[in-house]
Amino acid sequence: MSDQSQKPSSSPIRQAIKKSQTQEAARLFDARRATQITTATAPEPVKSALSPTRQAAIEPLPSPAQSNSSSLTTKIKEWVGSAADWTPRQRLTVILASGLIGFICLASVVFALGQTSSAAILYAPLPTVSASSVLDHFRTVGLIASHVQRLNVPDKSWKAVQGIQAELDSGSIKGNVLILSYKSRDEADADAFRASIGSVFGNWTVVQAANILLLTSPDTPQTLNAELSSHLTQQIIAPYRAFLATSTPNH
């Protein structure tokens, strides 16, 4: 009778305790599962999480970083410990391997430092010359210039400060040329690119040397193009670049 009278009153409390324990265990299970996924380390058995004592239930979980570092430390300790058991041959191998790695690192550093010093050689800047001085140079080296016309630049097509159109004659070979000079190399670069993509001068041969653009018409023979490019190199670039042959020592 007394049992029957107690049952209805104690049953809800027991159920509540059981329910809270089950919820706590489920929560801990989820938390450990999450830790297991993130750290990829073996978690403590779930059994302990399900232990009935609250002390065990509130035991703090190791953080992923702690878990990782402790396992790494253990591994290193194990490895160092086992090094004491190495045979002389194994020790020799480790010493040789370490020496080899050190040598490769040292050689790389020495090589890199050597590269830096060789690349530090600087060339003198190229001079700024005028279109008329280029034409004069062409005459000096034996080319005959005819139908010489000064262009009214800068205009819509060119941002040059001086422009000359002429017909150049090298023996039996003739060609029409445009010689343009600019304030700076940058302006010459821009006009050279624009000329090469444009519909009017797209098929002309464009040669650039410092602030000078030399354009030759499509009907100009390739040999004359090469000759003019060479003369331009000799006048503007070769005196300032020792690796290029200078056939015109006056400049």
Partner 1 sequence: MNQKRSNLYRAQHQAEHWAQRGQGLVEYVLILSMVAIVVIGAAFLIGLAVQRVYGIIGGALGAKHDEVAGVVITIDEASCYVVSAAVAPPTGRTGLYVTGTTNVNLADLTGSTDRAVGGPLNSNAGGFKYQPLFASLPDEGLCPKSVVIQSKNGQLAFAPVQIKYMN
In the complex, minimum distance from the CB of residue 127 to partner 1, in angstroms, rounded to a whole number: 13
Cα-flanking dihedrals φ and ψ of residue 173, to 5°? Answer: -100, 130
In the complex, minimum distance from the CB of residue 99 to partner 1, in angstroms, rounded to a whole number: 16
**C-alpha to C-alpha distance for 102 and 95, rounded to whole angstroms:** 11
For partner 1, give the closer residue by CB, 34 or 190: 190
Answer yes or no: are the C-beta atoms of 176 and 146 closer than 8 Å: no
* Interaction site with partner 1 (CB under 8 A): 118-119, 121, 123, 185, 189-190, 192-194, 196-198, 207-209, 214, 226, 229, 232-233, 236-238, 241, 243-244
For partner 1, give the closer residue by CB, 16 or 86: 86
Instruction: Give 137's DSSP letter.
Output: H
In the complex, minimum distance from the CB of residue 193 to partner 1, in angstroms, rounded to a whole number: 4
**C-alpha to C-alpha distance for 39 and 28, rounded to whole angstroms:** 16
For partner 1, give the closer residue by CB, 28 or 158: 158
**C-alpha to C-alpha distance for 147 and 163, rounded to whole angstroms:** 14
**C-alpha to C-alpha distance for 134 and 207, rounded to whole angstroms:** 13
For partner 1, give the closer residue by CB, 73 or 108: 108
Answer yes or no: are the C-beta atoms of 129 and 161 closer than 8 Å: no
In the complex, minimum distance from the CB of residue 187 to partner 1, in angstroms, rounded to a whole number: 11
**C-alpha to C-alpha distance for 108 and 135, rounded to whole angstroms:** 51
For partner 1, give the closer residue by CB, 220 or 233: 233
The alpha-carbon radius of gyration of the chain (Å, integer) is 43
In the complex, minimum distance from the CB of residue 104 to partner 1, in angstroms, rounded to a whole number: 13
